[in-house]
Chain A
């Protein structure tokens, strides 16, 4: 199996098929990092939908978009090429069930 990227506790999977269903517009949308105050931010304007733990994102045609980490000394910035993605947190185990890794 090959996945597009890991950015700290986030997994970024590029989808083979276009996202189905409605998407909303968003600018500089953020993923995770709520408790630490260090979100991962996709810089720019995208179409997206939150779906439980995962976020479906369409990076528009044009230049790749940067995914930045909120901590100045944190994870290096990575680029997302145009296309459709699923962004989700890594999972861990707790109390006998799966849960998202929190940071």
Chain B
């Protein structure tokens, strides 16, 4: 039975940030697979399903390699890893802390600490009945100052077999956005349907470059005095219109810019903002563009 603590000592309070920082710092550390540690976790994982760890344990160089092997072994296309390993650090760190401050006994924490240790020497797994496929930690992993996967100079993750992944401040993006941002044509830019990818491209290539590439000109501006957020309606030569808008302050304090296509009949930035949030027509939004939110975050 866990020991309940009503209050934390200053030393225990300090351990909160220290533990979180340690988990984040560990993400970028390269380590070779350690079969002793891996097998200890596999015994726990298979045991949860009343199974024995299979005799065959394969180490894969990347998630791609693991899924390819899993597909070959099962005869069916495998697309999902177990999501069990490094990615569990967020919640495992809590239990690790609870163990450190005596809320959990060694026995109570044993299984979750086995998962913690597994995450230090492996990335994830694809566990099959006859074979446990364990993925090596990447050879390089890059983060931004907030601990999000991020790199604008190359891949954010590099795997031992040469596979690469790209992310911009924690959002997965296609390689081209990071490596060749200014190769995007007007049509390529307009074909991006994901607003976070659009934001990434805009911030990497430069919003002004995007506007120039689209031939877009600002046709209206609106400043929301209550939230201090700026909005601009841009028009492209082909009639496409875009609303460029400033985000409310995020938890990080940053206020990124987003650009989203809006109806071609809108005439003002303020009406475009209302059009996005409602089912009203452009003319209805122009006739009464007022829209207030009790909260914007």
* Of A19-27, A34-42, A43-51, A55-63, the one touching chain B: A34-42
**A6 touching B264, Cβ below 8 Å:** no
Contact with B along A1-37 (1 / 0, CB 8 A): 1111111110100000000000000000000000111
Contacts of A8 in B (CB 8 A): 247, 297
**In the bound complex, what is the Cα–Cα distance between A7 and B296 (angstroms)?**
6
Chain B nearest Cβ from A67, distance in angstroms: 9
**B171 touching A38, Cβ below 8 Å:** yes
**A93 touching B297, Cβ below 8 Å:** no
**B292 touching A91, Cβ below 8 Å:** no
Nearest-neighbor residue (CB-CB) of A73 within chain B: B252
Nearest-neighbor residue (CB-CB) of B276 within chain A: A90
**In the bound complex, what is the Cα–Cα distance between A95 and B146 (angstroms)?**
36
**B251 touching A36, Cβ below 8 Å:** no
B7 CB–A CB distance under 8 Å: no
**In the bound complex, what is the Cα–Cα distance between A2 and B295 (angstroms)?**
10
**A101 touching B251, Cβ below 8 Å:** no
Restricting to B102-138, which residues have a CB under 8 Å from any CB of A?
none
**B297 touching A5, Cβ below 8 Å:** yes
Nearest-neighbor residue (CB-CB) of B24 within chain A: A72
B170 CB–A CB distance under 8 Å: yes
B235 CB–A CB distance under 8 Å: no
Nearest-neighbor residue (CB-CB) of B170 within chain A: A71
**In the bound complex, what is the Cα–Cα distance between A61 and B181 (angstroms)?**
49
Known A3-B277, A73-B170, A101-B276: A94·B261 in contact at CB below 8 Å: yes
Contacts of B278 in A (CB 8 A): 1, 11
Choose one: A69, A93, A101; the contact of B195 (CB below 8 Å): A101
**A101 touching B260, Cβ below 8 Å:** yes
Choose one: B195, B240, B250; the contact of A76 (CB below 8 Å): B250
B294 CB–A CB distance under 8 Å: yes
**B294 touching A5, Cβ below 8 Å:** yes
**In the bound complex, what is the Cα–Cα distance between A9 and B248 (angstroms)?**
11
Choose one: B147, B276, B295; the contact of A92 (CB below 8 Å): B276
Chain A nearest Cβ from B237, distance in angstroms: 16
Restricting to A63-103, which residues have a CB under 8 Å from any CB of B?
69, 71-78, 90-94, 98-99, 101-103
Chain A nearest Cβ from B122, distance in angstroms: 21
B100 CB–A CB distance under 8 Å: no
Chain B nearest Cβ from A69, distance in angstroms: 8
**B293 touching A6, Cβ below 8 Å:** yes
**A3 touching B194, Cβ below 8 Å:** no
Contact with A along B237-269 (1 / 0, CB 8 A): 000110000011111101000001111100000
Nearest-neighbor residue (CB-CB) of B277 within chain A: A11
9 A-B pairs whose Cβ atoms sit less than 8 Å apart in the complex: A1-B292, A2-B292, A5-B295, A6-B277, A6-B297, A11-B277, A75-B248, A78-B297, A99-B193
- Residues on A lying within 8 angstroms of B by beta carbon are 1-9, 11, 35-38, 69, 71-78, 90-94, 98-99, 101-103
